[in-house]
């Protein structure tokens, strides 16, 4: 029996760490022939990864998966101009490659891994139309809402253009997969797409469920509230630091920030300006494989997002990763994430941008017994095992795509 051929379209792929990596390698392992159309890796550093470049490793096989990398201008420090050039350059190169692939090879389905930018859908839709094959569009970022939330864009003409573009993608998709149930309302406002929508949440990375001998950050003695991941504007560190100011006299409570991102330099400056060096610590970035051992050093894990409508519709993958760790969570995110943490009973959830409520939650959590915190963590890990299992999700994906 001939293997079914799947084209996975994404701007980010290994060695960049995204969920589409898992999909590509697992489908290949399950007997499908997978080709990935992606870009030269440059996220999040803002420059090409070592060993990659305009004339280096543009086509390669990674664990049996064929990877074709379109040209992209590195994102640099991630400013508006840098991101615009990054997105536009890959839009052009991916469309050219998509045209070539459509005429040169035959695929049975095209799968779109849609994190920002949504323009990745143009290349995928070209393949779908030329080859007349089904397209499956996995929505992880809502556009154009993400433009407003992430960079404050409110130009009605630009937002209108992207609304029409997204509507075109949805019309041409055979199924629209959503990572958060809250996305359905926004998608249905753009057209009659309700019957296409299928809930397909993120899963817990296997690297987060295994123990390895890795280097982990040093953390201070005392009660540790830890953040891990991207340090960006959306993560609302201004409010987090305001909460830390309210607790600065509690020298035994420490905020530990693990990760990197565009806002890291600003956060470090603010720590000094606000006199928080004794209780707030940026400890650098560590690989995914180091996270289980890093989580183990925390008493509680926290996440925050700004008070933007689009963020209220999503449950960040970070929440699922935190749940799997068996540690309690403090979430300062409105909407879906707040409801999930409260429903599961795996920690405390407060309103976005509420520094007083966040500080109170940290203080209250520090005053619980280790046994009480462990029980919260257990509820989270049990829920993650039941609802965010990778093997179950991949079997569901096969059913969705009729593979």
Closest C-alpha among 182, 227, 186, 144 to residue 335: 182
Residues 194 and 212 in one domain: no
pLDDT at 323: 95
- pLDDT at residue 325 is higher than 70: yes
Q: Comparing 111 with 234, which gets the higher pLDDT? A: 111
| CATH number of the CATH domain containing 80 | 3.40.50.2000
What is the predicted pLDDT for the residue at 262? 84
- Which regions of 63-174 does DSSP assign to beta strands (E)? 65-70, 109-114, 135-139
Q: Is the pLDDT of residue 343 over 90?
A: yes
Are 264 and 351 contained in the same domain?
Answer: yes
pTM metric for this prediction: 0.80
In the block, residue with structure tokens 């280097």: 215
Please report, rounded to a whole number, the percentage of residues in the chain having pLDDT higher than 90. 78
Q: What is the pLDDT of residues 245-260, one digit of tens each?
A: 999 999 999 999 999 9
pLDDT of residue 149: 66
254 and 186 in a common domain: no
Q: What is the domain count for the chain?
A: 2
Same domain, 237 and 368: yes
Average pLDDT of the residues in 39-48: 92
What pLDDT is attached to residue 151? 63
pLDDT tens digits, 146-174: 777 666 667 788 888 989 999 999 999 99
Residues 153 and 212 in one domain: no
Does 217 share its domain with 183? Answer: no
- Residues 19 and 142 reside in one and the same domain: yes
User: Based on the domain organization, do 215 and 310 belong to the same domain?
Assistant: yes
Residue 48 sits in the same domain as residue 186? yes
Let me know whether 154 and 225 are in one domain: no
| 13 touches 24 (CB < 8 A) | yes
Mean pLDDT of 319-336: 94
pLDDT in the model for residue 24: 97
Q: Are residues 239 and 154 in the same domain?
A: no
Instruction: Write b or e for each residue in 341-350: b if 16 or more Cβ atoms lie within 10 A of its Cβ, otherwise e.
Output: beebebbbbb
What pLDDT is recorded for position 80?
Answer: 78
Range of the domain at 275: 207-387
- pLDDT range class, residue 207, cuts 50, 70, 90: low
pLDDT of amino acid 129: 97
Tens-place pLDDT, residues 281-308 = 999 999 888 999 999 999 999 999 999 8
pLDDT at 398 over 80: yes
User: What is the pLDDT averaged over residues 366-394?
Assistant: 94
pLDDT over 70 (residue 1): no
pLDDT tens column, 59-86: 999 999 999 999 999 998 777 788 889 9
Tell me, what's the pLDDT at 153? Answer: 67
CA atoms within 13 A on the CB side of 358: 28
Question: What per-residue confidence (pLDDT) applies to 36?
Answer: 98
Mean pLDDT computed over every residue of the chain = 93
> Does residue 238 share a domain with residue 196?
no
Count Cβ neighbours within 10 Å for each residue of 158-196 and write b for 16 or more, e otherwise.
Answer: ebeebbebbeebbebbbbbbbbbbbbbebbeeeeebeeb
């Amino acid at each position: 029996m001939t293997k079914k051929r799947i084209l996975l379209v994404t701007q980010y792929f290994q060695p960049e760490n995204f969920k589409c990596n898992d999909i590509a390698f697992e489908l290949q392992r399950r007997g499908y022939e997978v080709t990935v159309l992606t870009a030269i890796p440059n996220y999040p550093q803002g420059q090409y990864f070592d060993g990659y470049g305009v004339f280096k490793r543009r086509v390669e096989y990674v664990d049996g998966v064929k990877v074709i990398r379109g040209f992209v201008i590195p994102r640099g420090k991630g400013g508006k101009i840098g991101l615009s050039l990054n997105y536009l350059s890959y839009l052009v190169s991916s469309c050219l490659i998509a045209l070539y692939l459509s005429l040169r090879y035959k695929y049975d389905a095209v799968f779109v891994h849609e994190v920002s930018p949504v323009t990745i859908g143009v290349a995928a839709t070209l393949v779908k139309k030329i080859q007349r094959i089904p397209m499956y569009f996995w929505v992880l970022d809502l556009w154009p809402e993400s433009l407003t939330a992430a960079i404050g864009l409110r130009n009605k003409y630009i937002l209108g253009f992207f609304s029409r573009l997204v509507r075109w993608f949805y019309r041409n998709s055979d199924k629209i997969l959503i990572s958060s149930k809250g996305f359905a309302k926004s998608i249905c406002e753009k057209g009659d797409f309700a019957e296409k929508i299928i809930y397909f949440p993120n899963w817990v990375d296997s690297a987060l469920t295994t123990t390895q001998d890795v280097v982990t950050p040093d953390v201070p003695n005392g009660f540790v509230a830890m953040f891990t991941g991207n340090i960006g504007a959306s993560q609302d560190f201004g409010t987090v630091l305001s909460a830390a100011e309210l607790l600065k006299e509690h020298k035994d409570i420490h905020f530990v920030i693990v990760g990197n991102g565009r806002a890291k330099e600003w956060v470090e400056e603010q720590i000094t300006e606000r006199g928080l060096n004794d209780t707030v610590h940026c400890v650098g970035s560590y690989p995914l494989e180091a996270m289980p051992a890093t989580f183990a050093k925390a008493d509680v894990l926290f996440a925050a997002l700004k008070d933007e409508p689009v963020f209220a519709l999503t449950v960040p993958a970070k929440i699922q990763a935190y749940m799997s760790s068996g540690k309690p969570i403090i979430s300062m995110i409105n909407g879906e994430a707040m409801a999930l943490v409260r429903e599961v009973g795996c920690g405390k959830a407060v309103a976005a941008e509420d520094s007083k409520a966040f500080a109170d939650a940290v203080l209250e959590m520090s005053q619980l017994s280790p046994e009480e915190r462990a029980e919260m963590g257990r509820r989270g890990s049990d829920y993650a095992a039941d609802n965010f299992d990778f093997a179950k999700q991949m079997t569901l994906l096969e059913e969705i795509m009729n593979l």
